[in-house]
Amino acid sequence: MKVDLFDTTPTLDCAGRLLKLDVPRIVGILNLTEDSFSGDGLRADVDAAIAQGIAMVEQGADLLDVGAESTRPGAGEVSAVDEIARVVPVIAALAKRVDVPISIDTSKPEVMRAAVAAGAGFINDVYALRRDGALDAAAELKVPVCLMHMQGEPRTMQNDPQYTDVVAEVKNFLAGRIFACEMSGIDKKRIVVDPGFGFGKTLEHNLALLRGLDQLAALGVPLFAGLSRKAMIGALTGREGGAARAVGSAAAALIAVQRGAKIVRVHDVAATRDALAVWQAVAQGVASTKKAAQPFGSQRFGDDD
């Protein structure tokens, strides 16, 4: 891989696998759970998870996010031991089979360490490193971290979420977590933030956040958005769940990108890639029909032709 020393494009170094943010990047979701809200939980089926991960990369995923604990309202907790047993074999196998970075979706420091040792290069934490030991683990591991806003905790977050100004409050929370990370020795260049759509928010809160997403860009770090197949998509489209929400989810991802998101986390990689490819051609122009025919985000490491 050739590195341009004069290139100032934001780039995340995911344990040696570079995620260049010159165009919006797509994260493919691998749920190793048995109670995923989207109906795609694979639990301990390692072979199925590996096959799905490879397929997502072939469809245009720039990063794979592996998680083993559901965060849907009312979901049961998974022990660190069980979480490690589910994610480590999948991460280790995928690290040998795909060339994109792999993320671990966890809030537990022991899972973070085991996952990175197995080949993960990115930490996606819905608790924004607020659990005991998580900040120290992330600082020690030296991989990029995604800090997400959540009001309350997953089991009760949707009971009665309240905000005076949801955009301002989410922004202030994330600014505080960025500061905490920097004070713990985590370089700001390794920090990504996520407003946490659906995590302690009503439909109105989610829509306000999506409209005001560009205001979070003032935090000075890349924005990460996860709207795929969520209840807000169902409320807006009338679709029950799962793949039936793919079109609405792709539309939401596109809106997030238009408002400044650099990374979108999705279940339906191909649909999202196609939507973003059309947007990119219109918004940024396409040099040739050959370039236009390439899968969106195919040059994920910024290599020369």
Kindly list the catalytic residues: 230, 265
- Alpha carbon of 54 to those of 73, 90, 192, 248, 253: distances in Å? 29, 11, 25, 24, 22
Q: How far apart are CA 99 and CA 107, in angstroms?
A: 25
Dihedrals φ, ψ of 296, to 5°? -60, 130
Locus of tokens 């004069």? 6
> Residue 92 has which token pair?
């280790």
- Give the residue from 68, 111, 118 showing the smallest Cα distance to 96: 118
> Residue 184 has which token pair?
């713990």
Residues paired with 20 in a beta bridge = 11
Q: How far apart are CA 217 and CA 223, in angstroms?
A: 7
> Residue 85 has which token pair?
């047993």
- Alpha carbon of 225 to those of 50, 54, 179, 213, 258: distances in Å? 24, 22, 21, 9, 12
Contacting residues for 257 by C-beta, under 8 A, at least 6 apart: 24, 225, 264, 276, 279
Instruction: Name the 3-class secondary structure at 212.
Output: coil
144 contacts 122 by C-beta, under 8 angstroms: yes
26 contacts 60 by C-beta, under 8 angstroms: yes
